Amino acid sequence: MYRLLVCALGLAGTVFGQSVDSYISTEGPMTKAGVLANIGPNGSKAAGASPGVVVASPSTSSPDYWYTWTRDSSLVFKSLIDQYTTGIDSTSSLRTLIDEFITAEAYIQTVSNPSGTLTTGGLGEPKFNVNETAFTGTWGRPQRDGPALRATAMITYGNWLYSNGNTTWVTSTLWPIVENDLGYVVSYWNESTYDLWEEVDSSSFFTTAVQHRALREGAMFATRIGQTSVVSSYTTQADNLLCFLQAKSYWNPTSGYITANTGGGRSGKDANTLLASIHTFDLSAGCDATTFQPCSDKALSNLKVYVDSFRSVYSINNGIASNAAIATGRYPEDTYQNGNPWYLTTFAVAEQLYDALNSWEAQGSLNVTSISLPFFQQFSSSIAVGTYSSTSSTYSTLISAVQSFADGFVAINAKYTPSDGSLAEQYSKSDGSPVSAVDLTWSYASALTAFEARNNTQFAGWGATGLTVPSTCSGNSGSTVAVTFNVDATTVYGENIYITGSVDALENWSPDNALLLSSANYPTWSITVNLPASTNVQYKYIRKYNGAVTWESDPNNSITTPASGSVTENDTWR
């Protein structure tokens, strides 16, 4: 099952390479077993879960992860569907699990929950009980990446089924589920969302990236199976998402990294961004920076900044060379469970590097730009900007060094993996012992995908090749109209009202950069902003008082700006 890639590495890389080969040969089957153990109804650690339901972890206290998350489930089953459709695991038992997953998710889509119903935003609900009933407790909701990730997993399976003659089932059973999810993305992509760590309510790079992917491949899938009526809306909003993906609120050119969230008050250095690159990887797109492909100059620069941010955070990283692999976590400011390295984030670094290596091999060259130069200087201080053919000694030197670097991150996880192969959520930053939720399904799935990336296993692309950012789309500069926002809001002394929304002029859902309204006509607060003409704009008012931020209740306010002139919006605080 695990086809090991043997590379010619330097001395340090050889040592790492041997340990990684040994680790994968034993850990690979155990991680697969770990995934399957957490899927109902027959998984050994998922008793009580409905068929096809992925249990995030068997842990029921400190923390309680005995739930099923749409995001986690979709990422897990995408890895399993990839294995099934490529023949890595073509067993009938896996096929049964995949079909049960589809049945379970089709039902979960219809479950009314605190985020709404199927037609009123309920697909953004992040988690459910393992018996497929709604979780009604307080939580960070909505989370808008789940529908996109679920659609991507199902489209992969749908394309395989369609190619193998199951056309009727695809169009009658699978497509309606996918269409629900993609319709949700079309309607809600430019509204605020909790990030994949469920902590920051703004816009999230990971969410934007996976939504963009889902709509691109959704348009191709719909065309293939004859559902052409939706293609235009998918393509239009995919263009808008690509504009937003390239927005200044994400890419930080001065410091050379991707800011993970438009809000949250942190540095923005976050595994969110690496996970976005590996889960939107398309080998045919090469090193395209438009979609932040793993070997693109922006993605490589971002990886270096992210990794370096952890070099002084965890004591287990002490004494490791500044160009060597280390343990990484979600983000350097993390305090959850005391803030520790995560198996899945450390695997994500390795996977992005393996994806980059596979891309360079496929194109037969490696390009160093001024943006990616600091990344490559880790391995060759004299490297210069330029393109290096696979026949050059410079190419060989850099490839070997990056391979050794990538293997190092797997070796770090190997060092802190217990002898039974179990992967918790985190391991201690002081001694490397497993902490937080035991047997995290996402940890196991992240190992599976990293190992397959190391094997250079080829999976289906999603249409990332040759994309260009449209010159005109929602949120882009161009003709504008003056919009005056008035909101009736009573406040206490020292409290102020701000506005933020879905376009650059409204700071792209950033609570930190939200625009202050004037209280000259209190209790009416006012501001006039130049917004893009002929554009649907979503917005909300927020309160700020003594450092606390309070958002208006859902749904977002919405305005479609005219082609010219000016307009006034009169609102009341909700």
CATH code for position 114? 1.50.10.10
Q: What is the pLDDT of residue 264?
A: 83
Annotated binding site for substrate: 139
Q: What is the pLDDT of residue 33?
A: 97
Convert the pLDDT of each residue in 301-319 to its tens digit.
Answer: 999 999 999 999 999 999 9
Kindly indicate the confidence band of residue 474, based on its pLDDT and cuts at 50, 70 and 90.
Answer: low
Q: Calculate what percentage of the chain has a pLDDT beyond 70.
A: 95
| Domain range for 183 | 63-245
Annotated binding site: 139
Q: What is the pLDDT of residue 15?
A: 36
Convert the pLDDT of each residue in 113-159 to its tens digit.
Answer: 999 999 999 999 999 999 999 999 999 999 999 999 999 999 999 99
Q: Are residues 201 and 81 in the same domain?
A: yes
Residue 314 belongs to some domain of the structure: yes
Residue 319 belongs to some domain of the structure: yes
Domain count, the chain: 3
Q: Are residues 363 and 239 in the same domain?
A: no
Looking at residues 166-190, what average pLDDT do you find? 95
Q: Is the predicted pLDDT of residue 518 greater than 80, yes or no?
A: yes
Tokens describing residue 313: 């955070």
Q: Are residues 302 and 411 in the same domain?
A: yes
Q: Are residues 319 and 182 in the same domain?
A: no
Q: Is the predicted pLDDT of residue 82 greater than 60, yes or no?
A: yes
Looking at residues 414-433, what average pLDDT do you find? 97
Q: Are residues 362 and 292 in the same domain?
A: yes
CA distance 135 to 277: 31
Kindly indicate the confidence band of residue 246, based on its pLDDT and cuts at 50, 70 and 90.
Answer: confident
Q: What is the pLDDT of residue 470?
A: 84
Question: Which of 467, 494, 524 represents a domain boundary (last residue)?
Answer: 467
Q: What is the pLDDT of residue 502?
A: 86
Q: What is the pLDDT of residue 10?
A: 32
CA distance 44 to 231: 42
Residue 561 belongs to some domain of the structure: yes
CB 310 within 8 A of CB 332: yes
CA distance 35 to 344: 13
| 133 phi/psi in degrees, rounded to 5 | -95, 165
Q: Are residues 437 and 489 in the same domain?
A: no
Collapsing DSSP to helix, strand or coil, 532 comes out as strand
Helices 11-37/441-454 angle, 10° precision: 140
Kindly indicate the confidence band of residue 473, based on its pLDDT and cuts at 50, 70 and 90.
Answer: low
Q: Are residues 494 and 400 in the same domain?
A: no
Residue 475 belongs to some domain of the structure: no
H-only helix segments in 110-145: none
Question: What residue type is assigned to position 61 of the chain?
Answer: S
Q: Is the predicted pLDDT of residue 93 greater than 90, yes or no?
A: yes
| Average confidence score pLDDT of the chain | 92
Q: What is the pLDDT of residue 479?
A: 61
- Residue (of 282, 134, 140) closest to 204 by Cα position: 140
Annotated active-site residue 420? The verdict is no
Question: Which of 416, 433, 467 represents a domain boundary (last residue)?
Answer: 467
Convert the pLDDT of each residue in 476-504 to its tens digit.
Answer: 334 678 899 999 999 999 999 999 998 88
Q: How far is CA 116 from CA 120, 123, 265, in A?
A: 5, 8, 29
Residue 277 belongs to some domain of the structure: no
Q: Are residues 486 and 445 in the same domain?
A: no
Kindly indicate the confidence band of residue 4, based on its pLDDT and cuts at 50, 70 and 90.
Answer: very low
Q: Are residues 12 and 87 in the same domain?
A: no
Catalytic residue among 21, 198, 199, 554: 198
Annotated active-site residue 198? The verdict is yes
Convert the pLDDT of each residue in 324-353 to its tens digit.
Answer: 999 999 999 999 999 999 999 999 999 999
Q: Is the predicted pLDDT of residue 449 greater than 60, yes or no?
A: yes
Looking at residues 395-416, what average pLDDT do you find? 97
Residue 46 belongs to some domain of the structure: no
Convert the pLDDT of each residue in 362-387 to its tens digit.
Answer: 999 999 999 999 999 999 999 999 99
CA distance 396 to 361: 11
Residue 162 belongs to some domain of the structure: yes
CATH classification at residue 550: 2.60.40.10
Catalytic residue among 191, 195, 282, 439: 195
Q: Are residues 213 and 161 in the same domain?
A: yes
Q: Are residues 12 and 108 in the same domain?
A: no
CB 336 within 8 A of CB 289: no
Question: Which of 409, 439, 467 represents a domain boundary (last residue)?
Answer: 467
Residue 253 belongs to some domain of the structure: no
- Of 31-35, 39-43, 188-192, 401-405, minimum mean pLDDT range: 188-192
Kindly indicate the confidence band of residue 1, based on its pLDDT and cuts at 50, 70 and 90.
Answer: very low
Q: Are residues 449 and 398 in the same domain?
A: yes
